[in-house]
Structure 1
Amino acid sequence: MKNIRHTALAAAMATSFLMGGAIAKELPTVQFIATGGTIAMKIDPVKNAPVPAISGDDLLATVPDVGKYAKIQVNNLSNVPSDYMGPERWVQLTAAVQDAINKSDVAGVIVSHGTDTLEETAFWLDLTVKSSKPIVLIGAQRNASVSDFDGPRNLLNAVRIAVDPQSKDRGAMLAMNNQINAAKYVTKTHTANVETFKSGEFGFIGEVYPDKVVYRTNAIRNLNFPIKADAVMPKVEIFPMYGGADGVAIKQAVDRGVKGIVIEALGMGNMNVPMLDAAKYAIGKGVPVVITTRVNSGRVMPSYGFEGGGKTSYEAGAVMGGDYRAPKARILLTLALNAGIKDREALQKLFD
């Protein structure tokens, strides 16, 4: 890609000499794909608020120590808030990551990204990029104008993770605040704290220490959906259940052509009668419905038998979303539908 460059510092480090005169082994190459987010923002003096302002090259220049670990290629793919991310941009990002990771000289890929939808992008890449090489996503909770900007540390840690042999076959990972989380379970838990990303009861899978990267556990990665660079994703929408929800928006979505529905239900997957009726309406029109929960931990089950309980929606033909939360269930359903998987039984196996 024409906007990919090697840093002079990293190239120089790659040809440095060891004590005794022997030439050092050439450093591995890591591609750094910048997409924007707080990690690429500074305070605008007129707006007095953070706005997109710095490139991947600018961020890399703040972390000279990366030259000790790798040669870095920078691909400034975009510079947008992560709130602007969605299937169209995700398809483009998958193509960029897959192209980079397919290169024999690239050891791994780093993606910088805003934190608001970082967990969704991580999961999307985990499902759509096929490689044993590591994909490490990073962001920042503090913008580049503040004195304790957390972007440089996260980038340095990501480089170390990407070149560590232990990082292979772990899929997409999110690395911030010295912690490594697997894409499937990670979620943003605090609006401002630098330790915002957590994986609930499953916990993070590793940590970055000054002397080494340590993994505690491994994530199970058994799904992959190849997609074309020009793919147009089917429209899938999320609808929350809450006290007094009437389900009208679900029926309207079906009538305007939405291809899939995710309901963020209560408890183990329960809802009221109007929402159940709306789910039945969608199913009757051939639109798959996946039931998730707004509860932070645990899975949905066809347990309760009252009208609207999880058992009744399952018996009506809905898919139980397991332990996927609504945003990631939407991604999985989107990719499944794009792959031609529409049968309820086949979808249930995916979510199981």
Structure 2
Amino acid sequence: MDRVNSVETSTDTPHVVICTTGGTITASTAPGGVVVAGDSDVATQAMLDELRTVLPASVRVSARAVLDADSSTFGPPEWDRLVDVVADVLADPGVSGVVVAHGTDTLEETVMALDLHHTDPRPVAVTGAQLPADHPKSDGPANLLDAVLLAADPVSRGLGVLVVLGRAILQARGVRKWHTTEPVAFARNAPDTPVEGLPPELERPTLPGRARFTGTRVDVVSCPPGSDAVALGACVDAGARGLVLEGSGSGNLPPLVAEAVTELSVERPDIVVVTASRVPRGEATATYSGPGGGAELAKRGVLSSGYLRSAQARVLLTALLSLADTNAGAGAEAGADASPEAGAAAVRRQWSRYHLYS
């Protein structure tokens, strides 16, 4: 595997680095039809050899093995690893763009973690496959080619992290996997019309510092009609610093869950609660009255996820809580309030800046 180095790259010969993490794009099919991870080094080399036969000679590619697993096994440690690796790759001024080959199961979390930190104008394209590498109709080669061409194209600069699958190109924030098997695996939840101010493609504020996802527990709790607060209580007992509650409609909660959230706001102001919606499209907002309505919950300090759904809201909340802890440590040295309650209050103040199109 070629490793990224500081070799000069001319402006007319873009250099794209492919960071591999395993996933279906390098997987194979065992007897009985079970998809299994193969030898990623071999699969990646085969993928690169095939790519180079169709790639314009003006584009140079190299690969860097980062992870080797099904993305369903990924979590905060893997998000941290990928954020660090992408930053390291882009430290080379000769690199024109980055492609991350990733499993589709948790791609929406990874791209959110990357995009929150991606201040460099050079593009990062994240791609994968719905069919394994040895399938006669594998979509991986075409997706990889599209991602590399996008990452090499100057027109992609300044757009942040992009998801490239099934000939679709989507910005990271608001993305979610919407189909388990179709080639067009992802859709993006965002406003139908531009918001006032910057064009929608530029509405992606980045974090002021490096968040560390590992070590900050944020749980997602499904809150279907009639549910009680048992799951919520278990998450709190397990040490959750934040909760993303997936409700109905605009993010409304069942009565027993809403009652527990109200009690939590008094007894544990150090825990940040965000409501999201199980509805695929549209905005979660503090609109409705009543004990479980968003408007009433907002009075208790509960946040709404906007156009983000629960997976990406969890990533954002984890990042903000991590930064609050970092700032609290610095504040403690200066004699400022470094309590968990102060950190949670800071997250609540900052939340609307980062969730999509507040």
- Normalising to structure 1: TM-score of the pair? 0.85
Q: What is the Cα deviation at residue 321 of structure 1?
A: 1.6
| Paired position in structure 2 for 1:253 | 235
Q: What is the Cα deviation at residue 224 of structure 1?
A: 2.3
Residues 211-268 of structure 1, C-alpha deviations (whole Å, 9 max, x = no match) = xxxxx9735221225327x763410000111122101111121122111000011111
Q: What is the Cα deviation at residue 176 of structure 1?
A: 1.1
| Paired position in structure 2 for 1:266 | 248
Instruction: Decide whether the 8 Å contact of 2:119 with 2:206 is kept in 1.
Output: no
| Paired position in structure 2 for 1:20 | none
Q: Which of 149, 153, 163 is matched with 1:164 structurally? A: 153
Structure 2 unpaired stretches of 5+: 193-198, 325-342
Q: Aligned partners of 1:80, 1:305: CA distance in 2, in Å?
A: 45
Residues 43-69 of structure 1, C-alpha deviations (whole Å, 9 max, x = no match) = 123x64111113332211222222524
Verify: 1:52 aligned to 2:37, yes or no: yes
Q: Which of 196, 201, 214 is matched with 1:218 structurally? A: 201
Question: 252-261 or 130-139, which moves further after superposition?
Answer: 252-261
Q: Which of 40, 43, 46 is matched with 2:26 structurally? A: 40
Instruction: Decide whether the 8 Å contact of 2:143 with 2:166 is kept in 1.
Output: yes
Verify: 1:334 aligned to 2:318, yes or no: yes
Q: Aligned partners of 1:254, 1:303: CA distance in 2, in Å?
A: 26
Instruction: Decide whether the 8 Å contact of 2:205 with 2:354 is kept in 1.
Output: no
| Paired position in structure 2 for 1:179 | 168
Structure 1 unpaired stretches of 5+: 15-23, 204-215
Number of aligned residue pairs? 321
Q: What is the Cα deviation at residue 201 of structure 1?
A: 5.7
Q: Aligned partners of 2:86, 2:209: CA distance in 1, in Å?
A: 13
Identity of aligned residues (%): 29
Counterpart code for 1:289:
V
Q: Which of 281, 287, 294 is matched with 1:297 structurally? A: 281
| Paired position in structure 2 for 1:149 | 138
Q: What is the Cα deviation at residue 25 of structure 1?
A: 7.1
| Paired position in structure 2 for 1:345 | 349
Q: Secondary structure at the match of 1:342?
A: helix
| Paired position in structure 2 for 1:235 | 217
| Paired position in structure 2 for 1:317 | 301
Q: Aligned runs of 1:191-206 on 2, under 5 Å? A: 191-200=180-189
Q: Aligned partners of 2:201, 2:165: CA distance in 1, in Å?
A: 17
Q: Aligned partners of 2:351, 2:3: CA distance in 1, in Å?
A: 42
Structure of higher RCO (CA pairs closer than 8 Å, 6+ residues apart): 2
Q: Secondary structure at the match of 2:201?
A: coil
| Paired position in structure 2 for 1:209 | none
Q: Aligned partners of 1:255, 1:65: CA distance in 2, in Å?
A: 54
Q: What is the Cα deviation at residue 348 of structure 1?
A: 4.1
| Paired position in structure 1 for 2:64 | 75
Q: Aligned partners of 1:25, 1:127: CA distance in 2, in Å?
A: 28
| Paired position in structure 2 for 1:106 | 95
Instruction: Decide whether the 8 Å contact of 1:250 with 1:282 is kept in 2.
Output: no
Counterpart code for 1:264:
E
Residues 56-94 of structure 1, C-alpha deviations (whole Å, 9 max, x = no match) = 322112222225242112101111111011110110111
Cα distance change, pair 136–349 in 1 and its aligned pair in 2 (3 A): closer
Q: Aligned partners of 1:201, 1:86: CA distance in 2, in Å?
A: 25
Cα distance change, pair 200–252 in 1 and its aligned pair in 2 (3 A): closer
Q: Aligned partners of 2:63, 2:2: CA distance in 1, in Å?
A: 5
Question: 276-285 or 246-255, which moves further after superposition?
Answer: 276-285
Counterpart code for 2:206:
L
Instruction: Decide whether the 8 Å contact of 2:204 with 2:354 is kept in 1.
Output: no
Q: Aligned partners of 2:273, 2:219: CA distance in 1, in Å?
A: 10
Question: 235-244 or 296-305, which moves further after superposition?
Answer: 296-305
Counterpart code for 1:122:
V
| Paired position in structure 1 for 2:272 | 288
Cα distance change, pair 227–4 in 1 and its aligned pair in 2 (3 A): farther
| Paired position in structure 2 for 1:279 | 261
Q: Secondary structure at the match of 2:220?
A: strand
Q: Secondary structure at the match of 2:96?
A: strand
Q: Aligned partners of 1:68, 1:237: CA distance in 2, in Å?
A: 47
Cα distance change, pair 194–108 in 1 and its aligned pair in 2 (3 A): same
Q: Aligned partners of 1:227, 1:188: CA distance in 2, in Å?
A: 26
Instruction: Decide whether the 8 Å contact of 1:40 with 1:143 is kept in 2.
Output: yes
Question: 326-335 or 305-314, which moves further after superposition?
Answer: 305-314
| Paired position in structure 1 for 2:337 | none
Q: Secondary structure at the match of 1:98?
A: helix
Q: Aligned partners of 1:69, 1:326: CA distance in 2, in Å?
A: 41
Q: Aligned partners of 2:156, 2:25: CA distance in 1, in Å?
A: 23
| Paired position in structure 2 for 1:210 | none
Q: Aligned partners of 1:105, 1:349: CA distance in 2, in Å?
A: 33
Cα distance change, pair 322–272 in 1 and its aligned pair in 2 (3 A): same
| Paired position in structure 2 for 1:4 | 2
